Amino acid sequence: MRQHGGVNAWRGCARPLTPTPLPLSGCAGGGEGKARMPDIFHFTAPAHWRTLDFIADMHLKPQEPRTFAAWQQYLLTTPADAVFLLGDVFEAWVGDDCTLPRSFERRCQAVLRAASKRCALFFMAGNRDFLIGKKFLARAHMQPLPDPTALHFGGRRWLLSHGDALCTDDARYQQFRAQVRAPEWQAAFLARPLAERLATAQHMRQASEAEHAGRGYAQIDETLAAQWLRAADAETLIHGHTHQPGAYEMGEGLWRVVVSDWHITDSARRLDVLRLTADGLHRIVPDGV
Ligand SMILES: [Mn+2]
């Protein structure tokens, strides 16, 4: 696994939606503080697959057209048999009804549909796009994956996660996460008018950025990550969310490999694909993007 290379320090920090009180009552939060072991979903790659790509944290939004263009170009040209989108594909998602004609989300949907003709697409929810639902997944031709999922490929198991569930230092975020992942909360939120949901998401992002300014990166609880790996009988965890790409050895032969966020502007150029083949994991920058 040492071929993954060293730890790269990148600018930017993960800003998960934080526990801003929502104008919503009667929904139980999780909030007992202790992280419980999640159920691990197992997925076996079809035998003919040779190349599997992992990307995360594109944070797609209309205000960053070059990131969208790079993502589109990558998806329409990758040689991969399957692309695993490991969360925070979108900067925000307030419900599948946001894909109005001519909307940015509808353009993204079209890119995914076109890509799905070339390769299989899998989606794991992040902390910003966890409200992506069955309708959008069907229209975008993506298959959902639970977090975490143990991927069986090449005679080994690779544990996949977005990563936010492992950031247990932030107890308030974990409480918020448990609340907003509850079906009752989601049903109540999605029942609100689209304009109101968009306004709430905007408010939450601003509150999150204010709270996280100066707090730095979200940190993975490596003790918990090691427990997940042992439970999955895997050695390598592949995740995003922290925006700190690199390969981190956690002891006892266990690793976590972090995929970068994507951010392309006049002053920044980050795009990153983890590619898994029979040779192992490689970090690549997509061609021609
Ligand atoms: Mn995230």
pLDDT at residue 6, as a whole number? 33
Distance (Å) from CA 80 to ligand 1 centroid = 24
pLDDT, tens digit, 9 for 90 and up, residues 61-97: 999 999 999 999 999 999 999 999 999 999 999 999 9
pLDDT at residue 205, as a whole number? 83
pLDDT at residue 8, as a whole number? 32
Q: In the chain, what are the helix, strand and coil shares in percent, each to the nearest 5?
A: 30, 20, 50
Distance (Å) from CA 87 to ligand 1 centroid = 7
Which H/E stretch holds residue 269? Answer: strand 269-270
Distance (Å) from CA 265 to ligand 1 centroid = 20
Q: Which 3 state secondary structure label does DSSP give 43?
A: strand
pLDDT at residue 26, as a whole number? 32
Distance (Å) from CA 86 to ligand 1 centroid = 9
Distance (Å) from CA 47 to ligand 1 centroid = 31
Angle between helices 194-212 and 183-190 (to 10 degrees): 120
Distance (Å) from CA 242 to ligand 1 centroid = 7
CA angle 208, 212, 217 (to 5 degrees): 125
Instruction: Return the half-sphere exposure (C-beta side, CA atoms, 13 A cut-off) of residue 98.
Output: 25
Which H/E stretch holds residue 200? Answer: helix 194-212
Burial 97-134 (b: 16+ CB within 10 A, else e): ebbeeeebbeebbebbeebbeebbbbbbbbbbbbbbee
pLDDT beneath 70: ranges in the chain: 1-35, 214-215, 288
pLDDT at residue 217, as a whole number? 74
Distance (Å) from CA 196 to ligand 1 centroid = 23
Spelled out in words, what is the top-level CATH class assigned to the domain 2-16+41-171+219-284? alpha beta
Distance (Å) from CA 165 to ligand 1 centroid = 10
From CA 77, how far away is CA 68, in angstroms rounded?
A: 14
Distance (Å) from CA 213 to ligand 1 centroid = 16
Please, which residues have CB within 8 angstroms of residue 74's CB and are 6 or more apart in sequence?
Answer: 55, 271, 273, 286, 289
Which H/E stretch holds residue 52? Answer: strand 52-55
From CA 14, how far away is CA 88, in angstroms rounded?
A: 10
From CA 239, how far away is CA 86, in angstroms rounded?
A: 7
pLDDT at residue 208, as a whole number? 77
pLDDT at residue 35, as a whole number? 59
pLDDT at residue 15, as a whole number? 40
Residue at token pair 């490929």? 153
pLDDT at residue 27, as a whole number? 33
